[in-house]
Chain A
Amino acid sequence: MLSVRNLDVRYGQFRAVQDVSMEIAQGDIVSLIGANGAGKSTLLRAIAGALPVYSGSVSFKQQDVTQTPSSTRVKQGLSLVPEGRRLFADMTVEENLLLGTTVKRSGDWNIDRIFETFPNLVKRRHSKTGHLSGGEQQATAIGRALMSNPDLLILDEVSLGLSPLVVDQVYASINSLKGAGTTILLVEQDLGRAISFSQRAICMLEGKVVLDKPTCDTNKEEITQAYFGLHQSNNQEAS
């Protein structure tokens, strides 16, 4: 489904993502793990086409999309819920959701189903998203991405700034996507949740992938070591 090869992304002379490769198959649920500044968001934004790639390639559904604008990638079925939600704050929840239909992809998701999935949004339908709580904003952002009926949904920092209860709600709703066959790549800081929720964990450190294993073959300890760069040499061999 998604294939990233030797990807390099730079800010000026700073290499935020260095030589990253990964394969994600149809139906995979993958967690991307790493400390702040490890390059996770940069990688995801580059995959979504919001950042120019310095070298390497990204292909989606066997098509090279390295130079494709982000809007076209959405049309092909690749949607990113960006870090910090990035809602259109002066527009209402409904308007934000409707924008998700811009690419007109057919599928199960429509505005009614979004409100069924996120019942907390119903009474906020006509409120400006700038005035919503964190959980409501996150739900709107996910809903907006779902409205394009993506084949691959990328979620950056789903639970950032949300209370544990709301995080549970958000995960419950993402869980319902699993059944629908949507491929999911998400960033999660909570290792326990990452391991239990996904089938695979990819850990990044200083712009490089230092661990890429099925969650059943790894444990919290190994991921923690990769996260902090302990036993780095071993992990690099492993990846």
Chain B
Amino acid sequence: MIINSLVQAILLGGYYALIACGLAFMFQVMRIINLAHGSLAILSAYLVWEITDALALSPFISVLMILPIMAIIGLLLQRVILERTTKGGELLPVLTTFGLAIVIDNLLFQQFGANTRSLSPYLGDLSWESYEIFDLWIGKLPVIVLITAIAMIGGLDLILRFTHLGRQIRATAFDPDTAGLVGIDARKIAGISAAIAMMTVAISGTALGLRGTFDAYSGGPQLLFAFEATIIGGVGSLWGVFMGGIILAIAQSIGALIHPQGFLLGGHLMFLIFLFARIYFHRDVFSLKHWLSKFNKEENVV
């Protein structure tokens, strides 16, 4: 029973990792926490739903179609809003992206109404098919989401590590002024990064729609999940964010076991514990990035 909860939690954690990785990526590169992150994920979920419904496609095809749309939205977001606000200090990006979230949420409500939607009806058998492993029933869909999360974070990690674009992104994140002196067009890099982040948002919004239901105002909670996973994982490492997502989901499951209303509280409390640890016991001592890099060092020594 407990093992089953744990497995389900890890699978749910895959979704949290997906939604968090775009937020963390943008924070890492542009030092902006995008408060419209969750709302944009819901926007993509609706877009996928519309295309799937109108063209009678599989949601997996529809998401490919909205990837370029979200990339353009990301580029516009950077050029029209974020670029302007970051010049005005660190408060303005928070305010403008929050305003954007309100606009998106209510436009979605205006367009699609109060009914909850799901993408799972368009999946046919896949929505309920499961693997049976050691008496555990594991849904195929959550496994696909988890694998997508691993693939996406792994892919981003590879791009950041081994491509010229990745080096430019890391250099800009580390020191934008010097990046300019080396010849890196910080504006272009910020635009590309925002586009990449929005493509991950498109995928995570779709994952939410496949796994469960969403409505116009689901953006806020998704933002909180993404933020919590990012903080738990230790800001600054994508694999840390992956672990953060899983820890968040496990904490929620434990909360739900303790009290019927404890699901969200469990996650929030875990977030507070990690935040507390980060603030009071040295920076990032508790974060996974810290421990992982420690393990790596030990391996190197051996």
What are the residues of chain A within 8 A of B182 when measuring CB–CB?
A: 71, 74, 99-100, 102, 144-145, 148
Nearest A-chain residue to B174, judged by Cβ? A88
In the complex the two chains form, is A75's CB within 8 Å of B174's CB?
no
What are the residues of chain B within 8 A of A34 when measuring CB–CB?
A: none
CB A89 to nearest CB in B, in angstroms, measures 7
What are the residues of chain A within 8 A of B168 when measuring CB–CB?
A: 99, 102
In the complex the two chains form, is B184's CB within 8 Å of A71's CB?
yes
CB B166 to nearest CB in A, in angstroms, measures 10
Q: Would A99 and B167 be within 8 Å (CB), given that A88-B174, A89-B174 are in contact?
A: yes
**Interface range for B:** 10 to 19
Q: Does A24 contact B (CB under 8 A)?
A: no
Q: Does B180 contact A (CB under 8 A)?
A: yes
Q: Does B177 contact A (CB under 8 A)?
A: yes
What are the residues of chain B within 8 A of A50 when measuring CB–CB?
A: 177, 180-181
Q: Which of B262-289 contact A (CB under 8 A)?
A: none
Complex CA gap A72/B181 in Å reads: 9
Q: Which of B49-66 contact A (CB under 8 A)?
A: none
Q: Which of B150-195 contact A (CB under 8 A)?
A: 164, 167-168, 170-171, 174-175, 177-187
Complex CA gap A48/B167 in Å reads: 22
Q: Which of B5-32 contact A (CB under 8 A)?
A: none
In the complex the two chains form, is A71's CB within 8 Å of B167's CB?
no
Nearest B-chain residue to A84, judged by Cβ? B178
What are the residues of chain A within 8 A of B184 when measuring CB–CB?
A: 71, 99, 102
In the complex the two chains form, is B181's CB within 8 Å of A48's CB?
yes
What are the residues of chain B within 8 A of A88 when measuring CB–CB?
A: 170-171, 174-175, 178
The stretch that binds B, out of A90-98, A163-171, A175-183, A198-206, is: A90-98
Complex CA gap A50/B175 in Å reads: 12
Q: Would A86 and B185 be within 8 Å (CB), given that A69-B180, A98-B164 are in contact?
A: no
What are the residues of chain B within 8 A of A70 when measuring CB–CB?
A: 177, 180-181
CB B236 to nearest CB in A, in angstroms, measures 10
In the complex the two chains form, is B178's CB within 8 Å of A49's CB?
no
Q: Does A155 contact B (CB under 8 A)?
A: no
Nearest B-chain residue to A89, judged by Cβ? B174
Q: Which of B178, B183, B186 has the most CB of A within 10 A?
A: B183
In the complex the two chains form, is A102's CB within 8 Å of B180's CB?
no
CB A139 to nearest CB in B, in angstroms, measures 16
What are the residues of chain A within 8 A of B177 when measuring CB–CB?
A: 50, 70, 86
Complex CA gap A88/B160 in Å reads: 14
Q: Would A71 and B175 be within 8 Å (CB), given that A82-B181, A98-B164 are in contact?
A: no
Q: Would A86 and B186 be within 8 Å (CB), given that A95-B167, A99-B167, A102-B164 are in contact?
A: no
Complex CA gap A90/B28 in Å reads: 14
Nearest A-chain residue to B170, judged by Cβ? A91
Complex CA gap A49/B178 in Å reads: 11
Q: Would A74 and B175 be within 8 Å (CB), given that A95-B167, A98-B167 are in contact?
A: no
Q: Would A148 and B164 be within 8 Å (CB), given that A86-B178, A88-B175, A91-B171 are in contact?
A: no
Q: Would A90 and B174 be within 8 Å (CB), given that A95-B167, A98-B167 are in contact?
A: yes
What are the residues of chain B within 8 A of A91 when measuring CB–CB?
A: 167, 170-171, 174
What are the residues of chain A within 8 A of B187 when measuring CB–CB?
A: 69
Contact string against B for A residues 46-85, beta-carbon threshold 8 Å, 1 for contact and 0 otherwise:
0011100000000000000000011110110001101000
Complex CA gap A70/B168 in Å reads: 15
In the complex the two chains form, is A99's CB within 8 Å of B185's CB?
no
CB A98 to nearest CB in B, in angstroms, measures 6
In the complex the two chains form, is B183's CB within 8 Å of A103's CB?
yes
In the complex the two chains form, is B180's CB within 8 Å of A71's CB?
yes
Nearest A-chain residue to B186, judged by Cβ? A71
Complex CA gap A18/B180 in Å reads: 25
What are the residues of chain B within 8 A of A72 when measuring CB–CB?
A: 185
Q: Which of A7-34 contact B (CB under 8 A)?
A: none
CB B284 to nearest CB in A, in angstroms, measures 14
What are the residues of chain A within 8 A of B175 when measuring CB–CB?
A: 86, 88
In the complex the two chains form, is A71's CB within 8 Å of B174's CB?
no
Q: Would A102 and B181 be within 8 Å (CB), given that A88-B174, A88-B175, A90-B174 are in contact?
A: no
**Assuming A71-B185, A103-B183, what are 14 further A-B pairs, CB within 8 angstroms?**
A50-B177, A50-B181, A69-B180, A70-B177, A71-B183, A72-B185, A86-B175, A88-B178, A91-B167, A91-B170, A99-B182, A99-B183, A148-B182, A148-B183
Q: Which A residues lie at the B interface, using CB under 8 A? A: 48-50, 69-72, 74-75, 79-80, 82, 86, 88-91, 95, 98-103, 144-145, 148
Q: Which B residues lie at the A interface, using CB under 8 A? A: 164, 167-168, 170-171, 174-175, 177-187
A-B contact pairs, 17 of them (CB 8 A): A50-B177, A69-B180, A69-B186, A70-B180, A70-B181, A71-B186, A75-B183, A82-B178, A82-B181, A86-B177, A88-B170, A88-B178, A90-B174, A91-B167, A98-B167, A99-B183, A148-B183
Q: Would you list the 6 A-B pairs with minimal beta carbon distance, nearest first?
A: A74-B183, A70-B180, A103-B183, A86-B178, A102-B183, A71-B185
